[in-house]
A and B are shown apart, each in its own frame.
Chain A
Amino acid sequence: MKNLKKLLALSLAFVLAIGVSACGSSTKDGGSDTSASGKEVYRTLDEIKKDGTINIGVFSDKNPFGYVDENGEYQGYDVYFADRLAKDLGVKVNYVSTEAANRIEYLQTGKVDVILANFTVTEERAEEVDFANPYMNVSLGVVSRDDNVITSLDNWNKDDSIIVISGTTAETYLTKNYPDIPLQKFDSYATAKEAFENGTSVAWANDNTEVIAFSLQNKGYTVGIPELGSADSIAPAVTKGNDTLLNWINDEITSLGEENFFHADYEATLADTYGMDYEDSLVVEGGKTE
């Protein structure tokens, strides 16, 4: 009886493993297999309108871009925009909290309709999801302690590590360009912040908006490298192929530009952290970067 059970369990494990590989092998390389099964995972604009609720993926721990305030309400630059999207679409909004590393999966599996989680546009990501027009500028930055300000990543001391968040552009950039620097990886902003404050690493690399905000909100830290790598932009993303929703968002961003919506968004959500100095360098109005 015991042996039989064991045999059964073993064969089940095998069937499962083979099943997984068989399912996978029917799809092409590249990973964007959302439409391979013939049934689309995303909801079109009409379907969302009919349903009356749009699911938007935002951060819940990235103050001041997307976070949950003390009353349990989602707040921040991204959320301000998301609220407006839902209002103009005439639907209710359901916020889904995401982490950096699962933003693409959430779209590919249809768990959310739009990702508005400070999502930096990159070529690799654009192969997996469709980006709308940008609404913010961003680049990478590195923050370190005042007593040991890091201003360059060259001649790196191998005993020191840099904190990054799994699935961010900072991780991709450092992995590609500085493979020798040890990275300490965390899966959420909250834990990365906590670990950095506890002094486990000498520096923290992330979007420069985030590290500047961190150094302004916390005493004793300096952004030694304010711009690293190329200047990028941040845009809403939808599931690959969801053109109706994508076009609508693009039109919306264009028309919001006429009322200077994103400047108002900045003043409402970011001005407290950054002051007015960064307004023109951060905000992208009407979906057009210079």
Chain B
Amino acid sequence: MNWDFIMEYLPMYERAAILTVKLGLIGIAFAVLVGLICAMIQYHKIPVARQIVAVYIELSRNTPLLVQLFFIYYGLPKLGLQFGPELCGIIGLAFLGGSYMAESFRSGLETIEPIQRESALSLGMTNRQTMQYVILPQAVSISVPAFVANVIFLLKETSVFSAISLMDLMFTAKDLIGLYYKTIESLFLLVVFYLIILLPVSILGSLLERRLRHAGFGA
């Protein structure tokens, strides 16, 4: 292991890590938004929109992110739609993540027995109040483990960003191997940096899971 090399290229990994985290977080934020909207549409069984969401979820969950990125980055310009690589990465992540998030939110919503909703309504609560005070608190706490798993999954998926010329961690490692042939050092730094990013997320996630365990009915 050549430590001089590691020290010299540490800043490059830091920049790559920042890019990875930045695009990852923005992408995930949009994924949550898309997921929430889709889950709500499905939960309320809104016609037409519901079918569109179903198609989107199947399309997004059953194609690899790499393929989606290729389509967005290399395919769309042929149709006259051109985005920079960073925007493409975010769109790709939101497209892929949206369906996973939707599924985890939906599963959370569906575990709440209809009787709770009916009871709340019969007590005179409005639709909104029912959602806000009865359904969502329970649904959210049930969705948390799946949500955290999705966040980690999506952060890891950013490793295919290299295909659209984004200098993320994976590309930096590959690039350094190609430039200086320091395979072991480059891969070592790669593992370390992914751990630095993902371990806190996973630890925070399990803390959050325990913290939110209080909600629940009949469990």
Residues of A that sit less than 8 Å from B by CB: 2, 6, 10, 13, 16-17, 20-21, 23-25, 27, 29-31, 33, 100-102, 104-105, 108, 124-125, 128, 166-168, 171-172, 175, 184-187, 191, 194-195, 198-200
Contacts and interface: CB of A to CB of B under 8 A. Distances in A.
Contacts of A198: 74, 77-78, 82
A37 to B, nearest CB: 13
Task: From B162, B178, B203, B206, name the one whose CB has the most chain A CB atoms within 10 angstroms.
Answer: B178
B195 interface: yes
A108 B185 CA distance: 15
A172 B206 contact: no
A194 B181 contact: no
B3 to A, nearest CB: 9
Interface residues on B, range: 20 to 34
Contacts of B84: 200
11 contacts: A2-B206, A24-B188, A104-B177, A105-B177, A166-B171, A166-B178, A167-B178, A198-B77, A199-B77, A200-B82, A200-B165
Q: Determine the main DSSP class of B at the interface with A.
A: helix
A189 to B, nearest CB: 13
B203 A108 contact: no
Given A100-B178, A198-B74, A20 B184 contact: yes
Interface string B168-182: 000100110111111
A17 B191 contact: yes
Given A100-B178, A102-B177, A175-B179, A24 B165 contact: no
A20 B188 contact: yes
Contacts of A21: 1, 188
Contact of A101 (B78, B82, B174, B192): B174
Given A108-B183, A175-B179, A191-B165, 10 more contacts: A24-B185, A102-B178, A166-B174, A167-B175, A167-B178, A171-B178, A171-B179, A184-B165, A194-B74, A200-B165
Interface string B145-176: 00000000000000000111101000100110
A100 B178 CA distance: 8
A21 B185 CA distance: 9
A119 to B, nearest CB: 12
B163 A187 contact: yes
Contacts of B122: none
Nearest to A29: B2
A185 B168 CA distance: 11
B215 interface: no
A207 to B, nearest CB: 15
Contact of B181 (A2, A10, A104, A187): A104
Nearest to B203: A6
Contacts of B174: 101-102, 166-167, 187
B165 A195 contact: yes
B208 interface: no
Contacts of B73: 195
A124 B175 contact: no
B121 interface: no
B67 interface: no
Interface in B204-218: 206
B199 A10 contact: yes
B179 A186 contact: no
Contacts of A191: 74, 163-165
A101 B182 contact: no
B74 A17 contact: no
A200 B78 CA distance: 13
Given A13-B199, A29-B2, A124 B188 contact: no
A167 B180 CA distance: 9
A151 to B, nearest CB: 25
Task: From B73, B162, B181, B183, name the one whose CB has the most chain A CB atoms within 10 angstroms.
Answer: B181
A53 B189 CA distance: 36
Contacts of B191: 16-17, 20
Nearest to A26: B1
Given A21-B188, A185-B165, A31 B195 contact: no
